[in-house]
Amino acid sequence: MKTLEDLSNELKRKNIRLTHQRLKILEYLSNSKTHPTVEEIYHALKNEVPSLSKTTIYNTLNYLSELKLIKTLIVDDNEARFDAVTGSHGHFKCDECGKIYDFDLNTEAFDTEYLDDFKVNEKIVYFKGICPGCLSKI
Amino acid sequence: MKTLEDLSNELKRKNIRLTHQRLKILEYLSNSKTHPTVEEIYHALKNEVPSLSKTTIYNTLNYLSELKLIKTLIVDDNEARFDAVTGSHGHFKCDECGKIYDFDLNTEAFDTEYLDDFKVNEKIVYFKGICPGCLSKI
DNA sequence: TTATTAGTTTGTAATCATTACAAGGTAGAA
DNA sequence: TTCTACCTTGTAATGATTACAAACTAATAA
């Protein structure tokens, strides 16, 4: 659970201008485990930050993503999801309920010779299937 | 290099109605190594199949994708890409030139305990970075 | 071959996420 | 406190994808 103060220091350290909106968005994202969409962030925060605009959320998330402070998740819906970076992990999406789970992952395990001459900056692993909860219902 | 006849038999075997459009789209996809977008397929085929509509391309690709005959690629652009299924492989996208490379992949290598109770149907692996060609230019 | 029908194609219009833009607002340095 | 570069905001534009309905056609059976 990251506090506004934690986040505030984090931004200061990286020379990112502190704004109320950025802090709130980042706070929400850091304390969320659901990989929210822009829409979800917007609805969650608009009471607390009534002036908040979706454009600001897009701007903020894109900016923080460029700076590698957060990650943009790739899912097969047509909506971007966002993830406060915590370390190497994979995502599992349940085709039944749509929920996204994180799982630990040893990214060394799948290096391949073919990529020896490539500079790999990011490794994205994404599984699909059915989660235990949905399996038990079928 | 798959011929129209090969593909024709493939569809027949799966009880998929044979139409000129489907065969042409699938032929193009099967013989392409570039993971084309709908736009690219459309431009590539519209001379040969003048009546072709983008909606048909979407319909066809979505349908074949449901039937697991092709795969919809997840990339971080906002355009779907498609892949004639050939077996387990990963994708590497060059952040410099945008080109997408395939590489062989042993998907067994990254099973994790956490997912023991999950039914995993699909494993998507997607690397990003810079390809050898672009590395040499920098 | 012809007739029939369920499934397919097509163009247009609608939808929906995302971005462009310009005007007004604000963080942070001096 | 002032100043300026950077942010935020609302609206309008963009662009991929889907909905829809009318016209068409593959495949089956007579």
- Nearest-Cα residue of chain A relative to residue B96: A119
Question: What's the Cα-to-Cα distance from A50 to each of A5, A7, A19, A103, B75, rounded to whole Å?
Answer: 21, 21, 15, 35, 34
Helices (H), ranges, chain B:
4-13, 20-30, 38-45, 54-66, 132-137
pLDDT at residue A127, as a whole number: 92
Same domain, A58 and A23: yes
Structural domains in chain A (count): 2
3-state secondary structure chain A: CCCHHHHHHHHHHCCCCCCHHHHHHHHHHHCCCCCCEHHHHHHHHCCCCCCCCHHHHHHHHHHHHHCCCEEEECCCCCCCEEEECCCCEEEEEECCCCCEEEEECCHHHHCCHHHCCCEEEEEEEEEEEECHHHHHHC
Q: Among partner residues B104, B120, B123, which is closest to A112 by beta-carbon distance?
A: B104
Identify the CATH number of the domain in which residue A104 sits: 3.30.1490.190
The phi, psi pair for B77, rounded to 5°, reads -75, 175
Judge whether B114 and B103 are in contact, CB under 8 Å.
Answer: no
Q: Which residue is nearest to nucleotide D18 (CA to C1')?
A: B55
- In angstroms, the CA B35 to CA B50 distance is 22
Q: Kindly determine whether residue B74 and residue A74, on different chains, have CB atoms separated by under 8 Å.
A: yes
Q: Could you report the per-residue pLDDT of B18-73, keeping only the tens digit for each?
A: 999 999 999 999 999 889 999 999 999 999 999 999 999 999 999 999 999 999 99
For residue range B73-117, what is the model confidence (pLDDT) as tens digits? Answer: 988 778 899 999 778 899 999 988 888 999 998 888 777 889 999
* Within a domain: B81: no
Out of B46, B73, B100, a domain closes at B73
Check residue A132 and give its pLDDT: 96
A27 & A71 share domain: yes
Quote the pLDDT of residue B57: 98
B94 and B69 within one domain: no
A12/A72 same-domain check:
yes
Q: Give the CA-to-C1' distance from B60 to D29 in angstroms.
A: 28
Per-residue model confidence (pLDDT) at position B51: 96
The tokens describing A65, both together, are: 């993503």
Boundary-marking domain end, from A51, A80, A109: A80
Query: Are residue A13 and residue A69 in the same domain, yes or no?
Result: yes
Domain shared by A38 and A69, yes or no: yes
Q: Is there a domain that residue B11 lies in?
A: yes
Last residue of a domain, one of A34, A52, A80: A80
Domain that holds residue A64: 4-80
Position B90 scores a pLDDT of 92
Q: Are residues B62 and B95 in the same domain?
A: no
| Residue B2 pLDDT grade (very low, low, confident, very high; cuts 50, 70, 90) | confident
Chunked into runs of 10 residues, chain A (138 residues) has average pLDDT values of 87 95 97 93 96 98 94 86 88 89 85 91 92 91
Residues A60 and A94 in one domain: no
C-alpha dist (Å) from residue A116 to A59, A112, A119, A122, B103:
35, 7, 8, 15, 11
pLDDT of residue A88: 85
Q: Check pLDDT > 90 for residue B120.
A: yes
Quick one: B66 and B14 in the same domain? yes
Q: What residues of B are in contact with residue A128 (Cβ under 8 Å)?
A: 120-122, 124
Q: Could you tell me if B124 and B65 lie in one domain?
A: no
With an 8 Å Cβ cutoff, are B110 and A112 in contact? no
